[in-house]
Structure 1
């Protein structure tokens, strides 16, 4: 059992050490709009979503956007024949669009796989920090539908619209990822000055007209996404260094480097977006306040439940975007992460990076199919669930139903097949009596006793080595 917990701890620690980190905001403001409250409640019940980082960077199989950021960090390192000179590299990077031609793009295939896995919502990168739009923006020609882009002549070239439509047809909630910083836009990285880091490269207070142009550009692009792409449920804003200076948390290392005021007027943006998309969930990541309707711990799982809506976003492989021969987490690791996140009351947004050809790696489809097999049996303890004390005990993780009369105890395994002990102790300190105990997916009647705030379940030899018990076994406890 210690192996299982150690495994989860190692996964979390490794993920914490990888790439750019986004600290969870400490102050949560409850939305006052009843439609937003209702949408948040719906979203919280879904528990499992799909994230996709996809852009021209996938053509080179490199980290998304960050290689054009002039910071000396591990994830920003330039590689390849243009790496020696920054300006040459950036020009070559921005020319990737002439090569990026994902002719295998078939979002319906992704929808089918995600639905099979039990995913219920999705978030797609419409524009990352590099400024390349995966939608038909009128604000820039640096986009997938421009004639200079190799994919522009394809009838499905407006990739964001195609992705949203395909997932919406299968009743997924739709989330649009949008980067607030734009390293291609002349009013964010003004060509007059060289960029120094991820931040705006001039003082907006000194050049207010230029900054206003950038604010209008940002507002207009988000307005396009809220207008021409059907019903949208989540506006997922990244690039938390674009923020009012008075919101900077000096205890967070990356926020210490924010020199200038970078207020894009979120009140104006949110007002417009919700007029077009009533009830829209706005996620202004890491900027605590009324426009961060849920928080997004990245590559981490909180040790305890949080007192507000939250979502762990994490990669299925080692990278957010496509890289050749990526290493994918095992099905066991992914299901254990899902269980642990949900036991804390959170949602799990799992990222898969499509290839430059427009498809996922075979491993991604395989993992989703196996997760789906498990969810078919055990999903009732995941969806519509709530956190319940004691949250975990050794390798057992708990959830409860919304109606508060059922607890689910997930027994995690260190191997694909679950080998149950002859006797299993399940602490239940906060209930007075147990009415019924069953093992999801198994018809055999269980023998059990509830005494001294602990449930003791006797398991037959047949159940202990049941071949179809995989990843985690779920005990349904009605009380």
Structure 2
């Protein structure tokens, strides 16, 4: 039986979620980088707007949520299933045993990179290690890794190296997702104490010798990624509960539950990483300060323009990790999401999850192809643009580049252009020069509205969003 919220409970929950969302969008304490190389790379990253995130690991073999079923918290995303669900210790043993059967023989990063490029994506962030600690790279600091599976004999077994190389060859900026917590490491979930939740299983202040070993382990793995895998543009760190206690925001519910100071020494890590990768963007997610070069709202879009570097990380379907039957968002929804984010000054990092065989769902390729067709006509209003007030208003979204204004009309499903359109929040005069992207015919403005001839409407066809170029 599903629990039904009463009206009052629902209102209270909505209020809490609203308050938390606004707390997470309040980045008045954002610290802009001072290193000129980092500034240059950040500016470049802000211009390219659209990236690909991939969650992939042994959890894909079972088609379950990434890592979280290992976490002994009473939350929906942590729910265990299967024959070992009743016993956490047996479950963890079985989960870590997936590595013995993980063999993604259809792994083809060149096909991924080509599809992403054709869709208009320009950067990639790949999960080199999630919270479960399984390394998708050939780390010498753990045996729990992709090169210690049945896939080890494959010439592409070091998948992180292959992914980064394939995307780099297509002109992408490259990023490495790395989880700071590691639930496989004995110095994080120390076996003397069973873990109670996602956090370290002991108090680091009481056992500094253990915590220092974990800090060194983390440093060493990140150094491998920064020195052995070619040029890297972004170090994208997840697991925001691993943070100095002083950085906890009491207005955010999940941060209030962090019991210990888990200072991983980001200054040391960032200095080392940039010694190998000058200008590297460091994204210590949710930990406001000098090591969060841009902020990353998750599965949400801010309700307002944010004047700092930011990126919404969102899923193409419902799940971050592979599930056999995924509910993919429509092309229209994905295009609207991209436009909404760019109009508010952000980037979209869109997640696609490879399966246990190393292949994407066919629908993922279809969505990228359809997005690419739209981008080919309308990308001029996306890339290298700046947000323009009123940003988003009604069915309209605005960007600018130099003296050119771009006005996106976000259409309903299967909606053709009407004979007259009046942009909300934007004043037009009869002397305004305006065209529809993909069509050179100048359109007339009458009483502040754009007049669209029947031929222009027919030639435009049905699009998820229509772009008007205003000089």
Q: TM-score when scaled to structure 2?
A: 0.93
Contact 2:25 2:302 survives alignment (8 Å):
no
Separation in structure 2 between the aligned mates of residue 61 and residue 120 of structure 1, nearest angstrom: 28
Work out the CA distance in 2 between the residues paired with 1:434 and 1:306.
32
Structure 1 residues 446 and 245 mapped into 2: Cα distance closer, same or farther (>3 Å)? same
* Aligned equivalent of 1:441, options 438, 443, 457: 438
Is the contact between residue 111 and residue 170 of structure 1 (CA under 8 Å) also seen in structure 2? yes
Cα offset for 1:51?
0.3
Q: Is the 8 A contact 2:343 2:391 kept in 1?
A: yes
Q: Would you identify which runs of 4 or more consecutive aligned residues in structure 1 move more than 4 Å?
A: 427-435
Q: Which residue number in structure 2 is paired with residue 409 of structure 1?
A: 407
| Distance apart, 1:444 and its partner CA | 3.2
Aligned partner of 2:143 among 137, 141, 144 = 141
SS in structure 1 of the partner of residue 128 of structure 2: strand
Question: 1:112-123 residue pairs with structure 2 within 5 A?
Answer: 112-123=114-125
1:223 CA displacement: 0.3
User: Which is further off, 184-193 or 22-31?
Assistant: 22-31
Q: Residues of 1 paired with 2:307 and 2:444: CA distance?
A: 37
Once the two structures are TM-superposed, the CA of residue 431 in structure 1 deviates from its matched residue by 8.6
- Does the aligned pair in 2 maintain the 1:25–1:287 contact within 8 Å? no
Aligned to 2:156: 156
Q: Hey, what does 1:9 align to over in structure 2?
A: none
Corresponding residue for residue 192 of structure 1: 192
Write out aligned runs for 1:191-270 (5 A).
191-270=191-270
What is residue 313 of structure 2 aligned with on the other side?
313
Shift of 1:465: 4.3
d(CA) in 2 for partners of 1:174 and 1:32? 22
Q: Is the 8 A contact 2:270 2:291 kept in 1?
A: yes
Aligned counterpart, 1:271: 271
- Report the number of matched residues: 453
Shift of 1:418: 3.8
Per-residue Cα deviation, 1:215-248 (whole angstroms, up to 9, x for no partner): 0000000000000000000000000000000000
C-alpha distance in structure 2 between counterparts of 1:386 and 1:431, whole Å: 20
Q: Distance in 1 between matches of 2:392 and 2:124?
A: 28
Which residue of 2 is the match for residue 171 of structure 1?
171
Deviation at 1:430, TM superposition (A): 7.5
- C-alpha change, 1:434 and 1:96, in structure 2 (3 Å) is farther
User: Considering only aligned residues, what root-mean-square deviation do their CA atoms show, in Å?
Assistant: 1.9
Conserved 8 A contact 2:240-2:286: yes
Q: Is the 8 A contact 2:429 2:445 kept in 1?
A: no
Q: Which residue of 2 aligns with 1:470?
A: 463
- CA–CA separation in structure 1 for the residues paired with 2:394 and 2:69: 42
CA contact (8 A) 1:67 1:76 kept: yes
Secondary structure of the equivalent of 1:355?
Answer: coil
With over 3 angstroms needed to count, the CA separation of the structure-2 counterparts of 1:29 and 1:430, relative to structure 1, is farther
| Greater alpha carbon shift after TM alignment, 467-476 vs 101-110 | 467-476
| 1:297 paired residue number | 297
- How far apart, CA to CA, are the structure 2 residues paired with 1:274 and 1:206? 32
Q: Is the alpha carbon distance of 1:376 and 1:429 closer, same or farther for their aligned partners in structure 2, counting shifts above 3 Å? A: closer
Q: Check whether the contact 2:193–2:201 (CA below 8 A) recurs between aligned residues.
A: yes
Corresponding residue SS for 1:438: strand
Q: Paired residue for 2:64, among 47, 62, 65?
A: 62
SS in structure 2 of the partner of residue 414 of structure 1: coil
Worse-matched range after superposition: 438-447 or 179-188: 438-447
Moved more, 149-158 or 191-200: 149-158
Could you tell me how far apart the structure 2 residues matched to 1:321 and 1:165 are?
Answer: 22
For residues 330-358 of structure 1, the C-alpha deviation after alignment (integer angstroms, 9 at most, x for no partner) is 00000000000000010000000000000
Residue 8 of structure 2 corresponds to none
Question: What is the CA-CA distance between 1:81 and the residue it aligns to?
Answer: 1.3
Provide the rounded CA distance (Å) in 2 between the counterparts of 1:256 and 1:335: 36
Q: CA 1:24 to 1:89, structure 2 compared with 1: closer, same or farther past 3 Å?
A: farther
Q: Which residue of 2 aligns with 1:456?
A: 449
- Does the aligned pair in 2 maintain the 1:62–1:323 contact within 8 Å? yes
Counterpart Cα distance in 2 of 1:93 and 1:441:
51
Shift of 1:443: 3.5
Task: Give the drift of 1:22.
Answer: 10
Match of 2:421 among 415, 421, 424: 424
Cα deviation, residue 463, structure 1: 2.9
Q: CA distance change for structure 1 residues 366 and 168 in 2, over 3 Å: closer, same or farther?
A: same
Q: Which whole-Å CA distance do the structure 2 matches of 1:432 and 1:394 have between them?
A: 20
- Does structure 1 conserve the Cα–Cα contact (< 8 Å) formed by 2:47 and 2:384? yes
List per-residue Cα deviations over 1:129-187 (Å, max 9, x = no partner): 000000010111110112xx121111110000000000001110000000000000000
Matches within 5 A, 1:9-48: 23-24=24-25, 26=27, 27-48=29-50
Which runs of no fewer than 5 residues in structure 2 stay unpaired? Answer: 1-13
| Distance in 2 between residues matched to 1:114 and 1:157, nearest whole Å | 22
Give the TM-score taking structure 1 as reference length.
0.92
